[in-house]
Amino acid sequence: MKTLLTTSLLALTLAGAAQAEGKLSIYHWFEYIPQELLDKFAAEYDVEVTMDTFDSNEALLAALKAGRLGSYDVAVPGDYMVDILKQEGMLDSFTPEELPNHGNIEDRWLDVAFDPGRTSSIPYQWGSTSFAVNREVYDGTADSLGLIFAPPPELAGKINVLDTSGETLTLASLYLGIPQCSADRAQLKALNDLVMGAKAEWASFGSDVAKDVLVSGDAAAGMIWSGFSAKARAEGAPIEYVFPKEGMIVWMDNVVLLKDAPNRDNALKFMNFLLEPENAAAVTNYAQYSAGVKGVSEFLAPEVANSPESNPPSDVTGVFVQPCPQEVQVMYDAIWTNLKK
């Protein structure tokens, strides 16, 4: 299914494409940009836009490694994947002068560890990864990752977890209070035992269905990204997004300029376009995350600006997922395989 979704080519042939000046080829997450915004860019700059989609950072990396580098202009990797793509030499860089709107990047997202000074990437959206719980099924206290990893009877057997080892094992590590990329034997053993024990209470593993299973009621609790949770509630799921006391994952997706971009100029125009507050807000209104761009608030729909997901309490801690070194990653892979064997 993942493969099908990924390969389902979203060929967005636009009106007047035949006469378009240039082209722009985007490699993007599924369900993450409103069509109207692509149309607006195409009309404003007379550019023919095409877009393919992926469903995980690792799938993006795999596609670029397998020879797609050079066919896309921009992609939208998450924080740690920007770091990895940079290490792999897959990113081009630009000067702030090439992006007139570079100054619109919020100060706190300017000097990020994965791209200091923002020379290869710009903020797209940021949000959190935690879980949501169906309040008609469970009405007790919801403030802990224990609802997923040591669930109460009401939720047992009705939990969906994300089908990516990075997110699921990071949340499990937060629950246990062990550091990410730990190579400590006792800690890894505890992590392995925790997920192996919890699996009996989990109904399914799924990332692209994370929202749908909550809406349909197949799952009564599920790990989910903040914007997806807000969308699920808008679609009628009686759910609450939980900010766990143990902490949650914070992430930021970024538009990067790829190396060997066939249409570098249009890529920069597109990045500059996305840094316009009005356009960044259009993405936020659609995806229901947060923009990382100055001046978006006046363009935001009130239900998005005021949603619980967009307004975490000040005492909740969020961590970025760390890319682990190879010798440690092997052990996390082994735990994941063990979990699904």
For other proteins, the closer of residues 6 and 125 by Cβ is: 6
- Residue 36-75 contact track with other proteins, rule CB under 8 A, x = bound: --------------------x-xx-xx--xx---------
Residues in the chain: 341
Told to check if 4 binds other proteins by CB under 8 A, we report yes
- Residue 179-218 contact track with other proteins, rule CB under 8 A, x = bound: ------x--xx--x------x--xxxxx--x------xxx
CB of 137 to other proteins, least distance (A): 12
Cα distances from 127 to residues 106, 148, 229, in angstroms, run: 15, 20, 11
Told to check if 35 binds other proteins by CB under 8 A, we report no
For other proteins, the closer of residues 65 and 135 by Cβ is: 65
Give residues with Cβ within 8 angstroms of 207, minimum separation 6: 2, 55, 56, 162, 163, 164
Q: 322 among the known binding-site residues?
A: yes
Told to check if 334 binds other proteins by CB under 8 A, we report yes
For other proteins, the closer of residues 144 and 322 by Cβ is: 322
Helices (H), 29-95: 35-45, 57-63, 79-87
> Distance between CA atoms of 133 and 203, rounded to whole angstroms?
14
User: For residues 74-103, which are near other proteins according to CB under 8 A?
Assistant: 84, 88
Question: Is the distance from CB of 37 to CB of 44 less than 8 angstroms?
Answer: no
Give the residue among 217, 214, 236 at the shortest CA–CA distance from 225. Answer: 214
> Distance between CA atoms of 202 and 151, rounded to whole angstroms?
9
For other proteins, the closer of residues 73 and 163 by Cβ is: 163
Question: Is the distance from CB of 262 to CB of 23 less than 8 angstroms?
Answer: yes
Told to check if 301 binds other proteins by CB under 8 A, we report no
- Angle CA(270)–CA(274)–CA(275) in degrees, nearest 5? 120
Told to check if 338 binds other proteins by CB under 8 A, we report yes
Piece of the chain touching other proteins by CB under 8 A; list 2-10, 108-116, 275-283, 284-292: 2-10
Q: What does DSSP assign to residue 68?
A: I
Residue 288 CB-density burial (10 A; 0-12 exposed, 13-18 middle, 19+ buried): buried
CB of 10 to other proteins, least distance (A): 16
User: For residues 218-277, which are near other proteins according to CB under 8 A?
Assistant: 218
Which amino acids are annotated as binding site for spermidine, given as ranges?
Answer: 31, 80, 322
Which amino acids are annotated as binding site, given as ranges?
Answer: 31, 80, 322
- Chain positions contacting other proteins, by CB under 8 A: 1-4, 6, 56, 58-59, 61-62, 65-66, 84, 88, 157, 160, 163-166, 185, 188-189, 192, 199, 202-206, 209, 216-218, 326, 329-338, 340-341
